[in-house]
Structure 1
Amino acid sequence: MIEESRFQFGDLVFAKVKDFPFWPARIDCLRLSAYKNGAQSDQPTNSIYWPVFFYGTHELLWIHDRNLKPFEANRKELGTASNLKSFRQAMVEAFTKPLVDFQGQFKECSTKPEREKINAWLDALSEEKLETGWDELVNETNSGSSEDSEESDMEVDGAEELHKDENTFIKMASLEVDDSFGMMFDRPLYGRVVSKNKKSIKAQFYSRATRTTDEYHCRNPKSHPIPIDQQGFIFYHYDKKFVDYEDESGVKIMKMLTHEHDDVDQEWEKWNIHVMKFLSASK
């Protein structure tokens, strides 16, 4: 008798790769028979390789069932198993953008025809599918204009409830012009508020200087709008009296007067815990 698999397409898991801790990941939608290193059936069993998408790195690897663990049942133990910054960012992405680069037609399943289409694909009765990250994997680079890169960073999926005033870590209304703040999108962004209204702020973003413990250098002098419906991703806020803005040889510098990089990272950690607790409780 063939033992049924513990997993299904779309499941969130922790996946183990040699020399790395169990990593937050997702089983993606690719026919199991597409595995190139050995013949296997499309019927999942407990001895099969799955196509696995890793959060944070966006790598796509075939991983054996024995090296996968269910996400929610192991989140408390494995979700804090590593102090790597990249691991913490991957955990945030697993909660805030679980469908990133996922099979397009599986993002919406609110109607009966849509559910039937999904079930037909899962049962191998249909080959209809939309483009996935497996079909066209594009490596992230810093090419292109700074403006285009910044706008890409601002794309956020799901977790709408997180941005409501009663659920936010830091309310956008508390930010004032020349205050310093940080937001977490695909990566941490460190900003200066340059203008504000009731529905949004505009910010200049800075990169962390690696040779100092308290400076940030402006990435692009152009300001970028941030609507209030993204306020749930603000992870620190320092009043302007604790920040100095300088211009040295044409380079705009933001310098913390009373805080260092480690202090900002601690705020990021607190926000990270807040987000994970909120999203876990809302399920």
Structure 2
Amino acid sequence: MTELRTARTPTLEIAYAEHGPPGGPPVVLLHGFPYAPQGYDAVVPPLAAAGRRVIVPYLRGYGPTRFLAPDTPRSGQQAALGKDLLDLLDALAIPRAVLAGYDWGGRAACIVAALWPERCAGLVSCTGYNIQDIAGSTRPAAPEQEHRHWYQYYFHTARGRAGLEADRAGIARLLWRLWSPDWAFDDATFAASAAAFDNPDFVDVVIQSYRHRFGYAAGDPALEAIEAALAAQPRIAVPTIAPHGASDGVGPVEGSAGHARYFSGFYERRVIPRVGHNPPQEAPEAFARCILDLPAA
């Protein structure tokens, strides 16, 4: 990653890296949990070489990104992630950008694409439509899927919060292995991203995120209007490509097979063989190609 910059929004001082020509068409690359912007290190060069202005931020609760006020709720709810992305575009005076991400980052990108489509020139969202159906979260899934969410249920408990506080890197490394069984990442690769988990708000943001999505924690009152809009499961009209790793250990590939119903414009699903939950790091060329192949909005 290059030297970090910061952008001040109404809520955060967001740390980000920027690459490529400043006047190029902007692309924002958004990481997930438990990952970091370093996951895009091999995605950035082909995009910059293609003339794109590439912005790679740390999400709230990660790396050098910080809350401005001590009394702002340390929320990781989906509305917070979407609003942070919208605020970042405003802070950088970017009227419209391609938005690309996975896991939490893919959710933020989907939210902006759905609610503020005029700000999104195209969408790359791993595993397809990532906006949470919180009202439907009480419906049990098949047992085979329920066991993959063990970490979420763990985080619902005081024991899980204490476990994350005590060994955030250990939990993250286990999830990397479980979610990407064909990816032989080394210690240095993991360590480069794990440094981002040392943020003082990491545990609070993560725990609130996994509790809120099941209705077990209140959201930030300032974000209620956004959550209400997301409850309708809004369709996405911007051009979208949805890569999905065929070996994804938390979101199996069949899960996105019917997601075309959530999109009203161009939509293409791409299954990437022998890739798990982290396509930008496991298959950077394929991920970059998804961005470059997006049709003009």
Instruction: For CA contacts below 8 A with separation 6 or more, give which structure has more relative contact order.
Output: 2
Name the TM-score, length of structure 2 as normaliser: 0.26
Structure with more helix by fraction: 2
Structure with more strand by fraction: 1
Specify the structure having the higher radius of gyration (Cα).
1
